[in-house]
A and B are shown apart, each in its own frame.
Chain A
Amino acid sequence: MNDKKANNLIVIENGQLKVYPLDDKVEWEVGRSSPNNVPDIRFHSVTVSRKHGKFQNMDGMWFYIDYNGKNGTVYNHRHLEKGLRGNVKPVPLGDGDVFVFGGGREEVINHKTVWCMFCEKEVEENWRVNDSKGFSKLSFVSGGKTNVFTGPEKGTVVKGENGIAIYMGDLTYVSGDMQVIGEN
């Protein structure tokens, strides 16, 4: 990750990480793909609606618009609700905003739900996957600085000067200058 301005969406679903360069298009439909429905950001989890929501650019600013289906979206630990009279409530996005799709009203992070993070900086496409299964304590080392977490929660994001790590339980996704050291 470097400081160059670029809007990206990091998606982790069922152990797979993918980066979507949002600036390539003005609008990105989000949903579960089916023969009749091919959204721009395609998920496979059955807990995600076919037409779940969309990311949309307005005058250079990114928004997420939820279609408020039964499968739910949690944004920064808060379930997204409809507005008055069922109005759509666009969510203005900022760097590091996190979504969990398909977990109902709760922020459930598991193999059935989809975890996403909006980034306003350029993100590398090449990510390393570290096995973090069974470690009770993790040290994240970047640019000579170390951040230590005891029993981190799934979805913990650690940003270093030139690197980033996303802890998802058994697996930790790492990009750039970042090392993960586990201890029992």
Chain B
Amino acid sequence: MDRTDKTRYETVYLRDEISRCEDVFELKERILPMLKTQQDQWKDKINALIGESGLTKTRLAEMIGVSRMAVNKWCNGAIPKNRETFLRIGMAAGYNREKMDQLLMRYGRYPALYAKSLEDCVCIYVLDKGCKTETLQNYDFILNRIKENIIREESSETEDITTERFDEKLSVVRDEDELERFIAENTSVFAMTYHKFYAYVKMHIKANYESFDGNVFALAEGQEWSSSLRQCVSAIRQNKWYPTRNKIISLGLHLSMDHEQIDEMLELAHMEPLCAKNIFESIIMFVLDDADLNNILDEGSDEYDPDALCDYAREVMEKLDLPEVESFITELPEKYDE
């Protein structure tokens, strides 16, 4: 069994164990100890990366554009706050595309590089050119030049091109001038990156929230969603949100979506489905499976409680009392006793 098969086997095994889990205490006592926390994994990774790259913490901080204190925090397990930082860390370490994808997905829980996104397109170009120590510098230079020269226009006509074909076309771009032309010719493709994701969310809302006239913003306001999630919803309405993994999961819970639907949203945002190897996500999987099997949301009830799934997720997370879910709990609405 090679490493990929082993990883897949372990993930499927964990997925099955979670679905068989009887209650939240079994989840905590039997399943979660099998998983290494994201913080631990990241701590090992960033320390190994610094050692292998030969960079000092100070030099790495300078290249990425953060303080040395921030790098120190990473080395103690703090996870960088956004995907752009992960990209910059990978480029500073001289990673190739495969290692960059692994860094983004496994350690950041972000989508892999996606050629139809402007920043990723430039990143793929510089990684493929194999500039090693110059990679990050070239990335900044080219991206700034392109942003200055290209006026983003709303294009009505979008070329229907698969991501694989788009990747192929990008791989034969020879130099920066050609890259700039390539990007200018494909502005409409970049604008469509998350179009399917936005449409899916809007369609779900239209189909299920008639009482709010399909207006998720009214729903978000009425149910007192967190301000950060209300901002996401507002941005989705304007087709402007850059989706992050935990926010997609949070949105799914707030919209009472099941496991399959949350996986669908992740896929449309070019991300992997919920992963049983991640502590936080294994808890979400348990919540969704249990809510489905045990009719936690009480389909037969006349009273509609749009927060029922969030309330149940909060209840489970509070019982588990784990540091991995603390920040997420604050995203969920408070349950008021009547």
**Are A and B genuine complex partners?**
yes
B-contacting residues of A (Cβ < 8 Å)?
5, 56, 58-61, 63, 65, 83-90, 92, 120
B179 part of interface (Cβ distance < 8 Å)? no
Check A84 against B203 for contact (C-beta < 8 Å).
Answer: no
Q: Which interface residue of A58, A60, A84, A89 has the most chain B CB atoms within 10 A?
A: A84
Complex Cα gap A39–B258 (Å): 30
Q: Is the CB of B195 within 8 A of A92?
A: no
Docked pose: A82 CA to B207 CA in angstroms: 12
Residues in chain A near residue B298, CB distance under 8 A: 85
Given known contacts A56-B203, A63-B203, A92 and B268 CB-to-CB distance under 8 angstroms = yes
Enumerate chain B residues within 8 angstroms of A85, measured Cβ to Cβ.
Answer: 256, 297-299, 308-309
User: B interface vs A, CB < 8 Å?
Assistant: 160, 195-196, 198-200, 202-204, 206-208, 239, 256-258, 260-261, 264, 268, 288, 291-292, 297-299, 308-309
Given the known inter-chain contacts A5-B160, A89-B261, A92-B264, please indicate yes or no for A59 contacting B198, CB distance below 8 A: yes
The one of B202, B261, B309 that contacts A59, using a Cβ cutoff of 8 Å: B202
Q: Beyond the given A85-B256, A88-B208, could you list 13 further A-B residue pairs with CB under 8 A, ordered by the A residue number?
A: A59-B195, A60-B199, A63-B199, A65-B207, A83-B257, A84-B309, A85-B299, A86-B299, A87-B256, A87-B258, A90-B200, A90-B204, A92-B199
- Other-chain contact of A84, B196, B206, B239, B292 (Cβ < 8 Å): B292
Give chain A residues whose Cβ lies under 8 Å from the Cβ of B288: 84
Residue of A nearest to B309 (CB): A84
The reply to whether A83 and B258 form a contact with Cβ atoms under 8 Å apart is yes
- Alpha-carbon gap, A86 to B299, bound state (A): 6
Instruction: Give chain B residues whose Cβ lies under 8 Å from the Cβ of A56.
Output: 203
Bound-state CA distance A60–B202 (Å) is 12
| 23 sample A-B contacts, Cβ–Cβ < 8 Å, listed by A number | A5-B160, A58-B206, A59-B202, A60-B195, A61-B195, A61-B200, A63-B199, A83-B258, A83-B260, A84-B258, A84-B291, A85-B256, A85-B299, A85-B308, A87-B257, A88-B204, A88-B207, A89-B204, A90-B200, A90-B204, A92-B199, A92-B203, A120-B160
